[in-house]
Every structure is written in structure tokens, then in C-alpha cells.
Amino acid sequence: MAIFYVLLLFIIIAAIIAVETKNLLSSVICIGAIGFGGSLMFLFLRAPDIAITQVVVEVLGLIILIRATISRDLTFISGDREFFGMVVSVVIILAIFLAGMKVFDTSLPDFGSPIFTKVPEAASQTYIEQGLDKTGAANLVTSVILDYRAYDTLGEAAVLFTSIIGATVILRRKSRKRLEELD
Amino acid sequence: MPYALCFLLFMIGLYCAIVKKNMVKIVIGIMVMEYAVNLFLIMLGFRMGTSEEPGIAPIIDRSHIIGGATEPIQMTEKFLRTSVDPLPQALVLTAIVISLGSLALMISICIRTYGKYGTFDITRIRRLKG
Amino acid sequence: MTGVLPLFVAIPLAAAFLLPAFGKKGKAAATVLANLVTVSLLVLAVLCIGKSGVYLVGKWSIPLGINLVLDGLSSLMLLTISVVSAAAMLFSVRYMEQYTAKSKYLSLFLLMVAGMNGVVLSGDIFNLFVFLEIASIASYALVGFGCEHEELEASFKYMVLGSIASIFVLFGVALVYGNTGSLNMAYISKAIQASPMNTGLGFALALFIVGFGLKAALVPFHAWLPDAHPSAPAPISAMLSGILIKTLGIYALARVVFNIFGVSTQIGWLLVSLGILSMVAGAFLAIGQWDIKRLMAYSSISQIGYVVLGIGLGGLIIAKAGDNLGAKQLAWASLAILGGLFHLVNHAVYKSLLFLTSGSVEMATGTREMREMGGLAQVMPITRTTCTVASASIAGVPPFSGFWSKLILVIAAVQAQFYWVAAVIVFVSLCTLIMYLKVQRYVFLGELPQNLQQTKENRGSMLVAMVFLACLCVLMGLLVLVPSLKASILDPAVEVLTGGLEYSTRLIK
Amino acid sequence: MAQKEDISNGTKGMTVIVKTIASWVKVLIFLFGIYIILFGHLTPGGGFAGGVILASSYVLLMLAFGRESVEENLPLPLASKLDCLGAFLFALIAILGFVFGGVFFVNFLVEKYGQPFELLSAGTIPLSNVAIGLKVCASLFLVILTLSMCCKDFRPGTPSDGKE
């Protein structure tokens, strides 16, 4: 149990540094720390699939982010919004956070006893009981994403496809033809 | 309490995305929010178990089944008692892919904008009125 | 009949996956294929009118797998989406010749259509999120399609606010899952009815309202729309203003509020006040604009307000009556929701037509600044006529379609004794009339400036698309005037919303 | 600064030591990616994670040897076609489910072959994994390559561009 708190605190501290540091490159590196901390957290939360995916995605994401920042104008941008605006937004966000704390403490089931054990007709119970028999896959996460909820995965593939097409469209060299070429 | 810490992470990301003026910082804020939601989903499915029988990953090996080649396969009681919830893990896998995709698109928009304006500062990127 | 439901997603997705492989040489073939896809979706949507049913993807029974649900509201939205997308696709055949990478444009367009169809059909809340992301990401890329300064800036702004909205929705989904243990909308609704509403679900509802409100550009959350919609290419502006904000915003909000959580008095008041705020603020901001597309974008905010107002008013009446809901209150609520939904359809048609005409004007003159135009009525007669039809329609001039939906909203407000709401509706309608008179005056009437003497009317597919939508604008009034059309298209959609939580009992035996 | 430029442009590559090690490691990464994809239904991992690993082996090549040598291995148009192909294959599996099972995404092969815990089991799941792996690898490769090409092109033309 303690390990979760340690990791969560590590992630939160890394996030605060990533948000507040002036240097973009260190900020990006802190994002890497959050990602790897998160990946360790996933491992301890018994989600090895997610841990693997998180690590490799983190590597690629960092490369993409560093591509954006390296050898560019890294001079930090002078002070964020004026002081008053910053205080107001911090106060608003703290207020929402305190309201949210109450929500999380009262409504959700305790940490470590998932909801599907309490709801009699939850789908997850069926996945665990019959997943291997019905889909033949020993990895239940795979059986959920590629069989029970394969339609979601089609959507996911489409999202990736969309964003890649979008990125190549945004980064193309010449975007307009001259109007005279039309006729 | 771990849920609340997760929510704190979410709010840090939201703060960064709303208040900061650097385009890359805004993207970083959005990424932090995504991490927070992913972590939250996985936590929802976690089963602590007891110290003798801690929760296990939802991956079946041969010791978890009764029956086999001829009769229908059944899970052992122990597996049913300790396996964590596979559904949030599937959702998070999808969410991670989606966030990677939107990261790629966002960064390419940032790079292209940098090429046009020569800066990441959104207060200086203001051709549009209001 | 339910067998065709996956085709609404599968056809555009498969076509979109194939299109970028066509490359430069197959551009003509790609265009034809994309048009075939939108037209076939239109045919399918017409076939689905009045039908209802459930499709189990992968043969998994309801809480296990994902189900697609066709009911009155979905089929109304499907019809709207396919009409507007067919027209916008036809328009882009010629309009998009001025940009490069046309096959990628077509692919993104179809992905957006697939995403919207998926949102409308989905019966699973996480699946709704996934398809919402497809449609949004495609639209972020399409807004920045021109890659100029303004377009990139607008695209970035839109993408940041849109991503935050998506994450809010995802967080809401996570909270709902943590509280009910289910992702299927019907099961969530059943679980919420079984146990009293707790704070976690209330927080999730708040997240959903903010998230979908951001996607719908309701007034406190509207900052991105006036930049994003004008910056996109004209057919995309038409798609965004015409259907994207309605599908991802209004439809999803109505589904979640009415069918999953159940509408309460507070939520009803919240929707009504958001609606009125959007109507008034959008109208005031629009009047002062001189950029033709920016004016139309602000007017979209104002018109979205009408839709939310109608739906919220209906919900408010139902929630106020509570358990002793009489036939009279139900009739008022139905009328208000009918007005809202009919206005949604109307707005989809005439606002996309307005954006298409603005695109036609922009392509011919090379500017969007109204002060630099004038007298275009002489040189672009067809554009002028269609634009006048759409303007009259949006301003609520009888007998065009906008008049009927506003009339219904006013009648509903008066019947339910919200007299001030009726007054606001009439007032905003007058403001709308003023802003479109301004468009007519500065763009089409007056003197033709020297530098625009050579302007010619656009030809080909652009005109066909505009005339098609203009005919619809004239004929749309029939949807409420002819009882059989009303009974088959609009009434089932209204029943879905007034029925509220019966959604879950219909799906779970 | 000059050295930094070289790295970010990714044209010249790095030192001999890096190149030698990278040429060995890339094979291992590639094989590991393929393993992750093929055994996705038995062990942790799957099409998506495996696809990202395959893409990262290309990224390693790109960082070590420069962009041109990678483009010789996997040209951009080919990657773009592979991207479309992978996505389309996955959609095709859904459609085949419709053809053979009557419903989209039905696992029509599940009882045709294999026992649990064997490599060839679980019906369409391994096939879907392969399709997704192909798609993810090609598309991420594509986006990283495009981004690295554009790093050079989209610098502001003049120092005064956009600045006061």
C-alpha cells in the first residue's frame, strides 16, 4: 500500500516541476518521469499490459516532444499571466479540488475493492469467469479489447489513423494552389 | 485517498493547460491530465486482496484452470477471488492510444505554428481578434 | 433492418482507410468514391426512418459487448448528418481544388462522418467517447487544413479546448464506471435509478455537462468557435456549424442528461439558462462582425442556444411536474422538445447552406471582409438567391423552415407560462433578422467595387449542393405541417427524450 | 550548437560506437516487437505495444544513422500504404465476421482451431493483433519521420518573422 503513496507523490512532484519549471526541455524530461512513474504504478496495480504500453508510448512521446522543443527558441517566456489572474485560477482550482476530495472519499468504493465485485450483473465478472472459454485468449485484457469490445478497438485504430493523417496534412509543405490553376 | 491524489494530478494538469502561455506547456498540461485519468481508471479496477492472496493480473496460466481438453474449462476459485478487473485496463489501453494520437497532432500544429510565428508564446500569436 | 446499423460506421471508415492510398493520380477516383459513400449513407439513413432496434456487435449480449441502438433520436440525427455531409461533400469536389492533398482531405472528411455516426448510434458510453474523439480529431486537423497563420492558431485553440473537453468526458466515464460498475448506457441508467444519486455521480454529470458544453460551444465555453469555424475551408465550416457541434454537443448532452441520469429541476434550469445566455450573447456579438464567416459563426452560437433552450424547457416542465405528470404538461414538454429538435434540423440545413454560400463568395472574390464587397447580386445570381433563402429561413420569415421551429418554441413557452422566455426568443429572432439584413446589404446589394468587376459565378458541383440545400430550406416546413412526416421523423425523436429513463427498460428485458 | 543541429536534423547520424551498438540492438528490439505482437493473446502485450516497439526500432536507426538510411529501408510512401493496409485489414476482419458469422466482429474462428495457451488459438484475436501491430508501426514511423523532416523546414525564415 505504501508503495502507491510513494509513487503517487513522486508523480505529483514531477508534475509540479514539469508545470512550473521555466526551461522547456526540463519540463519535457519531467513528463518522462511522470510517465515512467506511472508505468511502475501500473505494474504494481497488476496491469502489466498497460505498463508495457505506457513505457513504449512514453519513449515515443518523449521523442516527439523533444523534436518539438530541441534547438528551438528555448528562452523561457516571461512571467505567466499577471499575478492576480494566476491567484484567482489557483484558488478556483483548489476549490474544485477540495470539492472533489469529498466526492472521491464518499462515493467510490474503497481503494482495493473494485466495483465489479459488488454489482451482481457486472460485465467484468463474466469476463473473468468465461473469458478463456468463450474467446480462447489467456490474456483477458486482450480478449476484452479484441473480442468483447473489438468495436472500440476499431475506433481506436481509426483515431490513430486520423491523427496521423492529420499530422501529415498539417506538416505538408505547400497547402494552397493558385486560383488561376483551377480552370 | 489515492483517488484524491489522482484528482490532484488532474487539477495540476488543468491548471497548466489553462494558465500557462507557452504552447508546449499547454500540451504538457493536457498530457498530465490524461495520465491522471488513466491512472484513476486502473485504480478503480485494482483488487488489493489479502496478504496471503494478493490481487493478480488478469492473465490466465495453466495453474488457474480446472478441466481441460475434454470437459469445459473453468477458473479456479482463487483466480476468481483475486483477479483484478480487466475492463478498465482495456479502456486505458484505448485511452493511451488516443492520447498518443492527439499528442502527435498537437505537436505538429505547434511546430507548424512555430514556423509561421517564430515563437511558442500564445500572447504573441494573436492574429485573430478576440 | 437493424442489420445495416454497423454500415453507417463501417462504410465511411473502410473508405477513409483506402482513400490516402489513392495518391495523386487517383484523385478523380477518390472524389467519386467519397461522394458515393456519402450518398449511400444518405440512402441508408432514409431507409432507417421510423425504425428502431438494437444491434449486438460481435454477438455478445448487452452488458458484455457493445450495442448499437437505433431509436427516433438516432435516426433523426443520422438523417441530418447524412444530408449535410452529402451536400458538403458535393460542394468540396470543386471548392477543394484550391488546396493540395485532396485525398487526405476526403479521408478526414469521411472519418469525421464515421465518428459522428458512431456517436449517434452507440449504446455504450465509452464507445461514445471513442467515436467522439475520432470526429473531434478529424475536425482539429480539418480546421488547420489551410496551414496559414490564422488557421493554425484557430486550430490550436480549438484543439486545446476540445482535448480538455474530451478528457472531462473520459473522467466522467471513469467516475460513472467506478460508481455503477457498468459502461452500457441502459445498465448505468438502471443502476442510477436503483440507488439514490450520490455525489460521485453528480460530479460525473457536472463533468459531462462541461465537456459536452465545450463541444457544443454554449456560451461560457464558446471561446473556440468564432475562430475555428471561420478558419476552416467552407464545406468544413458547414459541417462543423451544421452538425458537428450538434452531434458531439447537443445530442450527447441530451442523451446523457435525459436518458441516463434523468432530468431534474436544477438541470432543467441550467439548460434553459445556458440556452438563453448563448442566444443573447451570440446574437449581440454577431451583429458587430464584419467578417462574413465570423458573423455566421457567432450566429451559430445563438442558434445553438435555441436548441438547448427548447430541450431544456421540455426537461424543466417534466421535472417540475415530477410524479404527477399530467397529459397537459406532457403535451407542453413534447412541444418544447419538438421545437428544439426541429430547430436543430433546420439550423443544420440553413447554417450549412449559409457557410457554403460564404465559401462561394470567398472563392469568387478572394475576401471575407464585408466592407470590401457589394453588388454581388448582379454577378452571382444563384449564390445570392440561395443565400437569401437561407437568411430568410434563419431569421424566421414565413414560410421558410426557421419560422416554424421558432413559432413552436414560442407557443411552447407561452403555454407553459414562461412568458419572458417567449419574449427573449422573439427578441433574438429580430437580432438575427438584423444581422442577416446586414449580410444582404453589404455583400449582395449596393455597388460593385472596381476590383470585383471580373467576378464570375462559380460553376458545377458547388451550385448543385447549394441549390439542393436551398430547396430543403423551403420544403422543411412540411416536416411539421404534414402529419405523416411529423409522425415518422420528429415524433419518435421527441418521445425518446420525453420518455427519459424508459430508455433502459426498453433495452433490458 | 552546431552538433545539436546535426542531431536534430538527423541527417548525419552519430559516432561509430553508437552506430555499431544500434545495429545490433535494433535486431533485438525488432524481434521483441514481433514476439510481443504474436504472443499478445497469451502474455502481456499485444498489437499496440508491439507496434510501438517495432516503430521505436526504426526510430533508433533514425537517431543513430540519420534519416536517409531509414528512408532507404522503409520509404515514406510505402509506410503510408502500410498504414492504410493495416487499418483496412482490421476493418476487413470485422467484415469477415459479418460474412462468416452474420454479425460484425464476431470471432468466427474461435472454435475452428487450437487449444487455449497455444500460439495458434483464440480465433481472430492473433490476426487482429498482427493487423494492429502493422498499422501502429507504420503510422508512428510515419509521424516521427515527418516530424523530423519538418524540424528543419519550419524554422522561421527570418529572425524578425513574428517577433517584435
Facing D162 at nearest CB: one of B60, B112, B124: B124
Q: How far is CA D130 from CA B92, D50, D51, D54, D101, in A?
A: 20, 9, 9, 12, 21
Residues pairing with B75 in the sheet? B65
Facing C59 at nearest CB: one of D81, D87, D103: D103
D101/C59 touch (CB, cutoff 8 Å), yes or no? yes
Residues pairing with C466 in the sheet? none
What is the per-residue pLDDT for D78?
A: 85
Facing D156 at nearest CB: one of B59, B93, B115: B115
Categorize the per-residue pLDDT at C57 as very low, low, confident or very high, splitting at 50, 70 and 90: confident
pLDDT tens digits along D49-70: 899 899 888 888 888 887 778 8
Categorize the per-residue pLDDT at A78 as very low, low, confident or very high, splitting at 50, 70 and 90: low
Categorize the per-residue pLDDT at D161 as very low, low, confident or very high, splitting at 50, 70 and 90: very low
pLDDT tens digits along C387-426: 889 999 888 888 888 888 899 999 999 988 889 999 999 9
* pLDDT higher than 60, residue A179: no
Measure in Å the smallest separation between the Cα of C54 and chain B Cα atoms. 22
Determine the structural domain holding residue D37 and report its residue range.
Answer: 2-153
Q: How far, rounded to the nearest angstrom, does the alpha carbon of residue C142 sit from its chain's CA centroid?
A: 17
Task: Describe the crossing of helices C292-321 and C265-287 by its angle, rounded to 10 degrees.
Answer: 160
Q: Which of A14, A45, A71 is the last residue of a domain?
A: A71
D91/C17 touch (CB, cutoff 8 Å), yes or no? yes
Between A11-15, C130-134, C447-451, the lowest mean confidence (pLDDT) is in C447-451
What is the per-residue pLDDT for D153?
A: 54
Which DSSP string corresponds to C33-81?
Answer: HHHHHHHHHHHHHHHTTT--EEEEGGG--TTTS-EEEE-HHHHHHHHHH
Q: ipTM value of the model?
A: 0.91
What is the per-residue pLDDT for B130?
A: 47
Q: Which of residues 31-60 of C touch A (CB under 8 A)?
A: 57-58, 60
Rounded CA separation C68/C62 (Å): 10
Phi/psi for C67 (5° steps) reads -120, 145
Between C38-52, C55-69, C461-475, D107-121, the lowest mean confidence (pLDDT) is in D107-121
Rounded CA separation A23/C410 (Å): 57
What is the per-residue pLDDT for B62?
A: 76
pLDDT tens digits along C111-163: 999 999 999 998 899 999 999 999 999 999 999 888 888 888 899 999 999 99
With beta carbons under 8 A apart, name residues in chain A contacting B107: 64-65, 67-68, 167
Residue in B104, C147, C89 with CA at minimum distance from that of residue A159: B104
Facing D49 at nearest CB: one of A56, A138, A157: A56
Burial class for C399, CB neighbours closer than 10 Å (0-12, 13-18, 19+): exposed
Verify that A62 and A6 share a domain, yes or no: yes
Residue in C300, C473, C282, C447 with CA at minimum distance from that of residue C388: C473
* pLDDT higher than 70, residue A156: yes
What is the per-residue pLDDT for A76?
A: 54
Which residues 6+ apart lie within 8 Å of C61 measured at CB? Answer: none
C57/D104 touch (CB, cutoff 8 Å), yes or no? yes
Q: Is residue D40 part of a domain?
A: yes
Q: Which residue has the cell 505482437?
A: D37
Average pLDDT, chain D: 76
SS (H, E, C) chain D: CHHHHHHHHCCCCCCHHHHHHHHHHHHHHHHHHHHHHHCCCCCCCCHHHHHHHHHHHHHHHHHHHCHHHHHHHCCHHHHHHHHHHHHHHHHHHHHHHHHHHCCCCCCCCCCCCCCCCCCCCCCCHHHHHHHHHHHHHHHHHHHHHHHHHHHHHCCCCCCCCCCC
Residue in A62, C80, C350, A174 with CA at minimum distance from that of residue D59: A62
Q: Is residue A10 part of a domain?
A: yes
* pLDDT higher than 50, residue D4: no
Verify that A63 and A1 share a domain, yes or no: yes
Q: Which residue has the cell 461533400?
A: C89
Which DSSP string corresponds to chain B?
Answer: -HHHHHHHHHHHHHHHHHH--BHHHHHHHHHHHHHHHHHHHHHHH---B-SSSB-B-SB--GGGEE--SSSPPEE-HHHHHHBPPHHHHHHHHHHHHHHHHHHHHHHHHHHHHHHHHS--BTTT---S--
Burial class for C158, CB neighbours closer than 10 Å (0-12, 13-18, 19+): buried
* pLDDT higher than 60, residue D154: no
Rounded CA separation D118/A136 (Å): 9
At the top level of CATH, the class of B1-48+75-130 is: mainly alpha
Q: Is residue D64 part of a domain?
A: yes
> Span A119-136, mean pLDDT?
80
What is the per-residue pLDDT for D6?
A: 44
Q: Is residue D163 part of a domain?
A: no
pLDDT tens digits along B65-113: 776 666 667 777 777 888 888 899 999 999 998 999 999 999 889 888 8
Measure in Å the smallest separation between the Cα of A183 and chain B Cα atoms. 30
* pLDDT higher than 60, residue D137: yes
Categorize the per-residue pLDDT at D155 as very low, low, confident or very high, splitting at 50, 70 and 90: low
Q: Which of residues 60-89 of A touch B (CB under 8 A)?
A: 60-61, 64-65, 67-69, 72-73, 76-77, 80-81, 85-86, 89
pTM: 0.93
Facing B112 at nearest CB: one of C133, C152, C226: C152
What b/e string do you get for C308-337 counting C-beta neighbours within 10 Å, with b at 16 or more?
bbbbbbbbbbbbeeeeeeeeebeebbbbbb
Q: Are C374 and C442 in contact (CB under 8 A)?
A: yes
What is the per-residue pLDDT for A1?
A: 77
Categorize the per-residue pLDDT at C344 as very low, low, confident or very high, splitting at 50, 70 and 90: very high
What 3-state class would DSSP assign to A175?
coil
Rounded CA separation C124/C185 (Å): 5
In chain C, domain spans: 2-507
A158/C66 touch (CB, cutoff 8 Å), yes or no? no
What is the per-residue pLDDT for D23?
A: 84
Task: Describe the crossing of helices D47-65 and D16-38 by its angle, rounded to 10 degrees.
Answer: 170
Q: Which of residues 110-169 of A touch B (CB under 8 A)?
A: 111-117, 123-124, 127-129, 131-133, 138-141, 143-145, 149, 152-153, 155-156, 159-160, 162-164, 166-167
> Span A44-64, mean pLDDT?
88
Residues pairing with C70 in the sheet? C53
Q: Which of A49, A56, A140, A151 should we substitute to test contact with D (largest number of D Cβ atoms within 10 Å)?
A: A56
What is the per-residue pLDDT for C27?
A: 84
H-state helical runs in C96-184: 102-121, 125-143, 149-180
What is the per-residue pLDDT for A71?
A: 59
Q: Is residue A134 part of a domain?
A: yes
What is the per-residue pLDDT for D59?
A: 84
Q: Which chains touch D (3 or more CB pairs under 8 A)?
A: A, B, C
Average pLDDT, chain B: 83
What is the per-residue pLDDT for C171?
A: 92
Q: Is residue A39 part of a domain?
A: yes
Residue C137 in contact with partner chain A when CB distance is under 8 A: yes
Q: Is residue D164 part of a domain?
A: no
Q: Which of A71, A100, A126 is the last residue of a domain?
A: A71
> Span C361-388, mean pLDDT?
84
B30/C167 touch (CB, cutoff 8 Å), yes or no? yes
What is the per-residue pLDDT for D95?
A: 83
DSSP one-letter code for A178: -
Q: How far, rounded to the nearest angstrom, does the alpha carbon of residue A180 sit from its chain's CA centroid?
A: 46
Q: Which chains touch A (3 or more CB pairs under 8 A)?
A: B, C, D
pLDDT tens digits along B68-77: 666 667 777 7
Q: How far is CA D153 from CA A171, C341, D157, D159, in A?
A: 10, 48, 9, 14
The identity of residue A110, as a single letter, is: D
Categorize the per-residue pLDDT at C479 as very low, low, confident or very high, splitting at 50, 70 and 90: confident
What is the per-residue pLDDT for A77?
A: 54
What is the per-residue pLDDT for C169?
A: 93
With beta carbons under 8 A apart, name residues in chain D contacting B69: 115
C179/A102 touch (CB, cutoff 8 Å), yes or no? no
Residue of C nearest to A148 (CA): C65
Phi/psi for C144 (5° steps) reads -90, 20
H-state helical runs in C440-460: none
With beta carbons under 8 A apart, name residues in chain A contacting C20: 165
C14/D91 touch (CB, cutoff 8 Å), yes or no? yes
Rounded CA separation D25/D32 (Å): 10
Please, what is the end-to-end C-alpha distance for chain C in angstroms?
A: 20
Rounded CA separation A36/D6 (Å): 28
Q: Are C34 and C19 in contact (CB under 8 A)?
A: yes
* pLDDT higher than 50, residue A173: yes
Measure in Å the smallest separation between the Cα of D150 and chain C Cα atoms. 14
Residue D111 in contact with partner chain B when CB distance is under 8 A: no
Q: How open is the CA angle B62-B67-B73, to the nearest 5 degrees?
A: 80
Which residues 6+ apart lie within 8 Å of C221 measured at CB? Answer: C161, C165, C210, C213, C214
Phi/psi for C454 (5° steps) reads -80, 0
Residue A113 in contact with partner chain C when CB distance is under 8 A: no
Residue A7 in contact with partner chain B when CB distance is under 8 A: no
Q: Which residue has the cell 435516426?
A: C75
DSSP one-letter code for C98: G
Verify that A57 and A119 share a domain, yes or no: no
* pLDDT higher than 80, residue A181: no
Please, what is the end-to-end C-alpha distance for chain A in angstroms?
A: 71
Between A75-79, B105-109, C29-33, C168-172, the lowest mean confidence (pLDDT) is in A75-79
Residue D78 in contact with partner chain C when CB distance is under 8 A: no
What is the per-residue pLDDT for B68?
A: 60
User: Does D77 sit behind a cis peptide bond, omega within 30 degrees of 0 on the bond before it?
Assistant: no
* pLDDT higher than 60, residue D10: no
* pLDDT higher than 60, residue A74: no
Rounded CA separation C442/C444 (Å): 6
Rounded CA separation C444/C254 (Å): 39
Q: Which of B97, B106, B122 should we substitute to test contact with D (largest number of D Cβ atoms within 10 Å)?
A: B97
Which residues 6+ apart lie within 8 Å of C272 measured at CB? Answer: C308, C309, C312, C313, C316, C421
- CB contacts < 8 A, B to C, total 80
User: What's the number of domains chain A is made of?
Assistant: 2
Rounded CA separation C385/C363 (Å): 17
Residue A45 in contact with partner chain B when CB distance is under 8 A: yes
Determine the structural domain holding residue A140 and report its residue range.
Answer: 113-173
C-alpha cell at A79: 512571467
Pairing relation of β-strands B65-66 and B74-75?
Answer: antiparallel
Q: Which of D121, D163, D164 should we substitute to test contact with B (largest number of B Cβ atoms within 10 Å)?
A: D163
Rounded CA separation D60/C233 (Å): 38
pLDDT tens digits along C221-266: 888 888 888 888 889 999 999 899 999 999 999 999 998 888 888 9
